[in-house]
Amino acid sequence: MVNKITCCIVLFENNIDILNKTIDSLLNNCLNIKIYLVDNSRTKRLMSLSNKSRIDYIHNPSNPGFGAAHNIAITRAIKAGSNYHFVINPDAYFEEDVITPMVDFMFKHKEIGMMMPKILNEDGTVQNLPKLLPSPYSILMRKLKRPESIYNKFINRYELRSVPEDVIYDSPILSGCFTLLNLEAIQEVGMYDDKFFMYFEDWDLSRRMHTKYKTMYFPLVSVYHGYESGANKNSKLFKIFINSAVTYFNKWGWFFDSDRVKINKKALAQFTI
C-alpha cells in the first residue's frame, strides 16, 4: 500500500526566501508529497510560490486564524484521500528526509494520532516543545521565569527536560510547528478548534487526540525551526495569546481539572523524573 501524504503551510505576509527554504526541503526530500499553501495575507504576493509542482495555493484574505486556515487544507486532504498530513510552520526546514521515517513509524503503530520530531534552533540546540498539560500556573511561570530555583524545578518537569534526548514517548502536548496527523484519527476527534485565532490551538488538538490516541514525540529525526516567541515581544500578539489562554482554560478547566492531573501523572509514569 502506498500512503498518500499531504502537508500545509499557513502563510501571512511571510519572507519569500525563508518560505522557499521550507518548501524546497519538502519537495527535495519527499517525492510524493502534495503541499497546500493557505495564504491569510491581504494580497496575493506569495502566489508566486505556487509555480512549483505539487503545490496548491489557496488565498484566504479573511484571515480566520492559524487553526481555521489549516482546517481548509485538512478538509481538502481528506477529500483527496490523503492518509497522513503534516502541519508545518513557514520557518521550519530540514536537510535530510524526515517525512518518510515519521510516516513509516506512524503506519506501523496505528494507535498514534499525532507525532512531532525533534525541533532544533538554528545553532543546533533543542527546543523543549513536548509538554505536560498546562495549568494557569504553568503559563504564569513560563512567562515570569522566577524565582529561579522554583522555575528551574518547574520547567524541567513541565517540559520533560530530564527525559533522555533520543527517547520516543507519548506526550500530552505537542507543538504545532511541525506535526504529523493521522487523518483517520482526525476524522474521529475533529480538526483544529477555530475559536483559537492563534496560540493554544495545537495544545487543544493534542489534548483531544491524546484521550483516544497516542501523541508521540519522535526525536530520531529533526527539523530546524526559527523560534520567535512573538507574544513576548509584540503587544498585539500578547493580547491574542491571553485571549487564547482564556479560551483554552474556559474549555478544559482552570484550577479544577481532574483529567489534567490523571493524564500528566500517566505521562510522567513512562520515565523516572
Can you give the C-alpha Rg of the chain in angstroms? 18
What is the per-residue pLDDT for 230? 52
Cα separation of 37 and 45, whole Å? 13
The per-residue pLDDT for range 200-230, each reduced to its tens digit, is 999 999 999 999 999 999 999 999 998 765 5
Coil, strand or helix at 217 = strand
**Domain 5-268 falls under CATH 3.90.550.10:** yes
Quote the pTM value: 0.93
Span 141-178, pLDDT tens digits: 988 888 998 999 999 999 999 999 999 999 999 999 99
Q: Which is nearest to 90 in space by CA: 31, 28, 37, 53? A: 37
Task: Quote the pLDDT of residue 231.
Answer: 58
Q: CA distances (Å), 48 to each of 6, 10, 20, 43, 90, in order?
A: 20, 15, 11, 12, 15
Whether residue 235 contacts residue 129, with contact meaning beta carbons closer than 8 Å, is answered with no
At 11, list the grid cell: 502563510
pLDDT tens-digit map of 181-202: 999 999 999 999 999 999 999 9
Domain boundaries, the chain: 5-268
Do 119 and 98 touch, CB atoms closer than 8 A? Answer: no
